[in-house]
């Protein structure tokens, strides 16, 4: 009997090795479990934030919902994993989440060295500074000797170091792991300055005791293209993430909204026909059904609808489209055509 | 007996080898080791294969790259142009600093509270009891937040201060102290200090011997205090006062952003450090107090009565008779508390103190070298724990009951 143990142990180990090595594609995995596991922030109003009932909403959340709509025809087939800046890439690399949609800056090293692929940009941002109005500061160049609160493990931490060094200003960095603690410390007066992406500053300002006492300085010291990220090496899933974002942008450009999408199906415009799956088989080409983009717009809406509902001028954040307008409207948003 | 002997002797040789408990034991142990080695091999190769498949660069080369981020407190020279390796060393030293200072204060508070719990004074023992029950039943992270956020809001803001004798200042930016600036010749002060410490040790040995021989006591404590303060002071005066204090500079004129303490003048103990050490020391002290109480109660009351019968007062009884015997019971669980404190210091990341976990997390995020960084974390905490327990085991052996 004892002779049978060793082959058994080896056999079992080999079996484990075989199953881990083979692996299924992300799309197969997602279809098998019936939902998309989406990595989001730990709470950034307008981008990804849970409401009182625990439902996640925001611009980044809408991208996850749009992907779920594209895959399942059901925008609610998403489960959310709140991740700190420090945890996010490891969670994606290790397969804990299928897509990371968490105000993550697209940089060269992240794109090339971490085994990740950035699927596009859903918000063009830049790093800014927030200070108390009563400090009497009007420019970031007057911040010499200031103490600066921020998050650990972000590009923010590097940009602020570069900026103060380049301008020969001494400073003191206080870096917290969670955004909520940064807000609390800044609110308590531990720091003169709160720095993060400008969108984040507007969002976090809402959490301060007296939002009106604080102002965002005009300097934007970095380029922060934020967008969804997937694992490298799975082109099928990469395409789905990329074209979900492109579909939302194209829908806005073509004037297709969640309200008129059913009428638009009978439109004569060939671009709209291709987008909504009336003509061609573009959905099948990325492993989905042909009405993938119809489902996205019907369930979630186009980019403009998502922007206005979450961060736009009528929301507490009150962010104008600015550079995030479509290309033909003076902004950077430009999606390749569906054809 | 005789029946069993006959059975084993009468059985054929082959069967006896298979049934021999020694051989079987050895076989299963070899099998277990082989399985463990194979398991380890499988984990490592599988990890490497997965990393390669996902195009994640691995290796230790990243340690030499430029870090590019700032750190608020460092005991070794560090700037944004230093390497990731240096950043991790900064984090390591900060962790050790918190652990050492935390252990120091936790031990003092723990012993005082532990002894106070056994006090005959009802008020003192009740206060100690409440302290223990309150502190050890509230999660540590909550206490860290309490010390950092609640207490932080109570102290003056950046442009104001509380001062003590105009030398020690406190505001939300931290505790500011004068910084000694050493000039040439100041090394003599250090030498004098070392001489004073060595002399104190020698005199204490001599005093013990003399007491053993003649029964006469020597005022050892005051002699040592006199030496350790007096000799360096003498050297300071003789060498022409080769040291001055750099006082923190508080600016209260000009633009508001410029008001407050100037950076890098004097010593600034940052509030993150104060809050973390306070929380760790006070939390661990509650556990140490219970250990001390248990240790003291483990010493038979007869020992106290015997000491009193010899004419010793309460203080010396506790110090010379009870505590030395209690130490044998106290030290092993005390070691665990020291290890806990060291490991708990990793909660620093929640309040922005740049310890090893906080700095390592930033490095991890900038480089993506998760496996290497986590490996460093595990190696460091393991080494710190092993070092602490090795030291405490050595101390335990010294304190063990010497049987003659």
Closest residue of chain B to A23, computed from CA coordinates: B50
What pLDDT, on the 0 to 100 scale, is given for residue A1?
Answer: 37
Contact residues on chain A for B362, CB-CB shorter than 8 A = 86, 152-153, 157, 175
Q: Which residue of B has its CA nearest to A144?
A: B258
Question: With contact defined as beta carbons under 8 Å apart, do A295 and A69 qualify?
Answer: yes
Q: Can you tell me the distance from the alpha carbon of A297 to that of A251, in angstroms, rounded to the nearest whole number?
A: 7
Tell me the C-alpha distance between A296 and B318, whole Å: 77
Q: Which pLDDT band holds residue A65 (cuts at 50, 70, 90)?
A: very high
- Order of strands across the sheet that contains A36-40: A78-82, A36-40, A99-100, A229-231, A116-118
**Helix/strand number for chain A, H first, E second:** 14, 14
Determine the average pLDDT of the residues in A185-203.
89
Q: Give me the residue from A2, A136, A162 closest to B255, CB to CB.
A: A136
In this structure, which long-range contacts are made by residues B162-166, counting pairs with CB atoms below 8 Å and at least 24 apart in sequence?
Answer: none
pLDDT at B14: 57
Q: Is A22 on the interface with B (CB under 8 A)?
A: no
Interchain CB contact of A169 with B (< 8 Å): no
B77: left (phi over 0), alpha (psi -120 to 50) or beta: beta
Contact residues, A window 87-116, toward B, CB-based 8 Å cutoff? 89-90, 93, 109-110, 113-115
If pLDDT is split at 50, 70 and 90, which confidence band does A101 have? very high
How many other C-beta atoms lie within 10 A of the C-beta of residue A144?
Answer: 14
- The pLDDT confidence band at residue B34, using thresholds 50, 70 and 90, is very high
Stretch 300-329 of chain A: residues touching chain B, C-beta under 8 Å: none
pLDDT > 90? residue B222: no
Q: In this structure, is the dihedral angle defined by the CA atoms of residues A168, A172, A173 and A179, taken in order, positive or negative? A: negative
Predicted pLDDT of residue A289: 92
Rounded-to-integer distance, Cα A305 and Cα A312, Å: 9
Query: What is d(CA B86, CA B92) in angstroms, rounded to the nearest whole number?
Result: 10
pLDDT at B358 over 60: yes
Structure tokens at A94: 């290790």
ipTM of the complex as predicted: 0.75
Mean pLDDT to the nearest integer, A67-90: 91
Residue A115 contacts residue A157 (beta carbons within 8 Å): no
pLDDT-derived band of residue B54, with 50, 70 and 90 as boundaries? low
Q: What is the pLDDT of residue B13?
A: 52
Cβ–Cβ gap A185/B358 under 8 Å: no
More confident residue, B245 or A241: A241
Determine the Cα–Cα distance for residues A67 and A73; give it in Å rounded to an integer: 9
Nearest CA in chain A to B50: A21
Among partner residues B31, B42, B368, which is closest to A6 by beta-carbon distance? B31
Residue in this structure with the two tokens 């006082």, named with its chain if needed: B247
* Cα distance between residue B354 and residue B362, in whole Å: 10
A290 touches chain B (CB under 8 A): no
* Residue listed under structure tokens 């006591």: B217
- Which structure tokens are listed for A276? 């909504």
How near does any CA of chain B get to the CA of A106, in Å?
13
Indicate if the alpha-carbon torsion angle B262, B264, B268, B270 is positive or negative: positive
- The pTM score is 0.77
With a CB cutoff of 8 Å and minimum separation 6, the contacts of B317 are B304, B307, B308
Of A13, A86, A188, Cβ closest to residue B153:
A188
- Tell me what pLDDT residue B3 has: 47
B313 backbone dihedrals φ, ψ, rounded to 5°: -80, 175
Contacts of B368 in chain A (CB under 8 A): 89, 93, 109-110, 113-115
- From chain A, the residues in CB contact with B53 under 8 A are 233
Which of B42, B264, B349 lies at the smallest CB-CB distance from A177?
B349
A174-190 pLDDT tens trace: 988 888 889 988 988 88
User: Cβ distance A59 to A308 under 8 Å?
Assistant: no
Q: Scanning the structure block, which residue is given the tokens 């934007």?
A: A220
* Angle, vertex CA A138, rays to CA A137 and CA A141, nearest 5: 85
Burial environment of residue B6 by CB neighbours within 10 A (0 to 12, 13 to 18, 19 or more): exposed
Distance CA(A275)–CA(A294), nearest Å, equals 8
Q: Compute the average pLDDT of residues B8-33.
A: 75
Residue B38 has its nearest CB partner, among A10, A20, A172, at A10
Q: Which residues of B touch A5 (CB under 8 A)?
A: 31
Compute the average pLDDT of residues B334-339: 90
pLDDT at residue A20 tops 60: no
User: How high is the pLDDT of residue B141?
Assistant: 92
In sign, the C-alpha dihedral spanning A213, A218, A220, A221 is negative
Residues A176-205, mean pLDDT to the nearest whole number: 88
Of B31, B56, B172, the CB nearest to A5: B31
Average pLDDT across chain A, whole number: 87
The residues with which B180 forms a beta bridge, in sequence order, are B245
Q: Tell if the CB–CB gap between B257 and A136 is shorter than 8 Å.
A: yes
Contacts of B220 (CB under 8 A, 6+ apart): B203, B204, B207
Helices (H), A5-129: 5-22, 26-33, 59-72, 88-93, 108-113
pLDDT of residue B402: 66
Q: What is the rounded CA–CA span in Å between residue A101 and residue A44?
A: 12
Give the containing element (helix H, strand E) for A196: strand A193-197
The reported pLDDT for the residue numbered A3 is 44
Is the pLDDT at A60 greater than 60? The verdict is: yes
Contact status of A184 with chain B (Cβ, < 8 Å): yes
- CB–CB of B321/B312 below 8 Å? yes
Q: Which residue has the tokens 């909550």?
A: B142
Q: What is the pLDDT of residue B55?
A: 65
What average pLDDT does range B265-285 have in this prediction? 89
Whether B72 and A110 lie within 8 Å, measured CB to CB: no
Q: Which of A132, A139, A153, A165 best tests the B interface by mutation, with the highest count of B CBs <10 A?
A: A153
Give residue B348's pLDDT band: very low, low, confident or very high (50, 70, 90).
Answer: confident
pLDDT per residue as tens digits for the range B388-401: 889 888 888 887 76
Percentage of chain B exceeding pLDDT 90: 25
CB atoms within 10 A of CB B255: 11
Position A15 scores a pLDDT of 41
């Amino acid at each position: 009997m004892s002779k049978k143990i060793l082959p058994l142990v080896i056999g079992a180990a080999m079996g484990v090795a075989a199953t881990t090595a083979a692996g299924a594609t992300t799309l197969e995995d997602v279809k098998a479990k019936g939902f998309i596991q989406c990595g989001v922030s730990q709470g950034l109003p307008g981008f990804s934030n849970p409401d009182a009932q625990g439902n996640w909403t925001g611009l980044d959340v809408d991208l996850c919902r749009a992907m779920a709509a594209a895959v399942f025809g059901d925008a609610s087939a998403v489960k959310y994993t709140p991740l700190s800046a420090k945890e996010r890439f490891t969670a994606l690399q290790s397969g804990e989440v299928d897509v990371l949609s968490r105000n993550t800056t697209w940089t060269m090293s992240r794109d090339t060295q971490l085994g990740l692929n950035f699927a596009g940009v859903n918000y063009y941002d830049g790093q800014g500074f927030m200070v108390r109005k009563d400090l009497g500061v009007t420019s970031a160049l007057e911040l010499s000797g200031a103490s600066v609160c921020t998050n650990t493990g972000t590009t923010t931490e590097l940009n602020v170091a570069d900026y103060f060094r380049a301008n020969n200003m001494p400073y003191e960095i206080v870096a917290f792991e969670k955004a909520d603690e940064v807000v609390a410390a800044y609110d308590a007066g531990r720091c003169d300055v709160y720095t993060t992406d400008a969108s984040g500053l507007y969002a976090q300002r809402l959490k301060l005791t007296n939002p009106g006492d604080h102002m965002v300085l005009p300097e934007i010291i970095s380029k922060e293209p934020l967008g969804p990220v997937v694992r490298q090496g799975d082109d099928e899933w990469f395409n789905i993430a990329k074209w979900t974002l492109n579909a939302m942008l194209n829908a806005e450009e073509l004037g297709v909204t969640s309200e008129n999408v059913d009428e638009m199906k009978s439109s004569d415009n060939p671009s709209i026909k291709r987008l909504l799956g009336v003509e061609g088989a573009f959905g099948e080409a990325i492993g989905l059904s042909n009405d993938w983009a119809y489902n996205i717009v019907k369930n979630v809406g186009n980019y403009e609808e998502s922007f206005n509902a979450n961060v736009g001028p009528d929301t507490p954040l009150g962010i104008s489209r600015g550079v995030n307008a479509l290309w033909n409207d003076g902004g950077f948003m430009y999606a390749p055509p569906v054809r | 007996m005789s029946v069993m002997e006959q059975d084993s002797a009468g059985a054929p040789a082959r069967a006896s080898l298979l049934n021999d408990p020694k051989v079987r034991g050895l076989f299963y142990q070899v099998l277990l080791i082989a399985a463990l080695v194979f398991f380890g091999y499988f984990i490592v190769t599988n990890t490497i294969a997965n990393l390669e498949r996902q195009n994640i660069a691995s290796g230790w080369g990243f340690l030499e790259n430029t870090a590019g981020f700032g750190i608020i407190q460092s005991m070794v020279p560090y700037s944004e142009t230093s390497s990731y390796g240096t950043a991790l060393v900064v984090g390591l030293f900060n962790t050790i600093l918190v652990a050492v200072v935390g252990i120091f204060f936790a031990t003092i508070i723990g012993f005082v509270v532990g002894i106070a719990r056994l006090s005959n004074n009802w008020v003192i023992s009740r206060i100690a009891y409440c302290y223990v029950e309150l502190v050890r039943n509230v999660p540590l992270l909550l206490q860290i937040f309490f010390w950092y956020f609640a207490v932080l809001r109570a102290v003056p803001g950046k442009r104001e201060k509380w001062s003590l004798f105009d030398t020690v200042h406190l505001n939300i930016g931290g505790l500011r102290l004068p910084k000694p600036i050493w000039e040439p010749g100041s090394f003599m002060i250090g030498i004098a200090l070392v001489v004073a410490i060595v002399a104190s040790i020698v005199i204490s040995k001599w005093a013990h011997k003399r007491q053993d021989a003649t029964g006469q006591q020597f005022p050892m404590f005051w002699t040592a205090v006199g030496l350790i303060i007096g000799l360096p002071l003498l050297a300071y005066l003789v060498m022409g006062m080769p040291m001055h204090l750099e006082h923190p500079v508080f600016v209260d004129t000009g633009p508001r952003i410029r008001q407050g303490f100037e950076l890098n003048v004097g010593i600034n103990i940052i509030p993150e450090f104060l809050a973390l050490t306070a929380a760790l020391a006070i939390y661990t002290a509650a556990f140490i107090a219970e250990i001390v109480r248990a240790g003291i109660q483990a010493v038979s009351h007869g020992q106290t009565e015997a000491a009193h019968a010899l004419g010793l007062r309460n203080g010396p009884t506790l110090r010379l008779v009870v505590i030395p015997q209690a130490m044998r019971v106290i030290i092993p669980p005390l070691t665990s508390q020291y290890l806990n404190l060291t490991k708990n210091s990793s909660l620093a990341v929640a309040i922005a103190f740049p310890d090893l976990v906080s700095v390592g997390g930033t490095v991890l995020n900038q480089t993506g070298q998760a496996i290497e960084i986590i490996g460093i974390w595990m190696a460091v905490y393991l080494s710190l724990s092993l070092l602490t327990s090795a030291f405490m085991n050595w101390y335990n052996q010294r304190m063990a009951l010497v049987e003659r």
